[in-house]
Structure 1
Amino acid sequence: MFKKVKKFLKALGPGIVTGASDDDPSGISTYSQGGAKYGLAALWTLIITIPLMAAVQDCDRIRLTTTLRKHYPKWVLYLLIIFSVPAIVLNIGADITDMDAVEHLIFPAVHAIVFSVLFTGVLLFFIIYLPYLTFGSVLKYLPIDFI
């Protein structure tokens, strides 16, 4: 039984991370408000999203940048980077801000900016000092998407 569970957990990959990408703090705060308003009305989307997560996991060996390099001119890749970087930075900022707000609710005596600096520092430490494979293997078990 333990070997089956270990094999299953080892098989989890980027599909799970992609599927959990809306479970970051900014997504949770957004979807909590949507869920409070609409309830279970959007639950049918699981029928679509679960196969998409599996497809992303199966296509993991071929990276997006590799595909763009093979089939498109360089300016398409550069355009993708120009549009993606601000969105990624703003999303990380929203995640950190939402985590600050939650921690401030738990510890109201500590100012939220302290948590912002702490979360940013811990995240940067792990990004800089952990090899990507180690960091990715840890992130796949966490329902967050900082990267």
Structure 2
Amino acid sequence: MRKIMFLILALSTFIINASCTWNKLERTKPPIPNIYIDSVEIPVVRGTYCWYESADYPSIPEIVEEMKPTVVPGNSKFNISFHYTPRPSNISIARMKQGEEKLYNQSIVIPSEQGVYYYEIDARWNSDNLEADSFYASVIEVK
């Protein structure tokens, strides 16, 4: 009987530790936001971040070079949301047209001019429990 109780106790301890470790590992990367342009969901990749750990990635457009641009209409609304608590304290968005070096900050409306555009999102968390930041990138094509 003692062996069975010891086995149950050991197994319970293992399961609790494994789930705590899994939860800790799950939090080592920042959440991916949802981006919609009108009703079209836009794929997003995580870039450089400083969360519970840090990672460096190339900047746009390199980080999205393997992604096929999502085709969207011009003059559409760019919507971003995080389903994570706490929500970011600050979000900034930068846009770069393919072949250009100039960045346009705080873009919320998709341009009407046809072309491929890269978007970089910088999300920052500043709360009592979390001081972190993360960059994200996506690519669209206006037709």
TM-score range, shorter chain: under 0.3
Structure 1 or 2, whichever has the larger Rg, is: 2
The structure carrying a bigger strand percent of its residues is 2
Q: More helix by proportion, 1 or 2?
A: 1
How high is the TM-score relative to the length of structure 2?
A: 0.23
Which one scores higher on RCO, CA 8 angstroms, separation ≥ 6?
1
For normalisation by structure 1, the TM-score amounts to 0.22
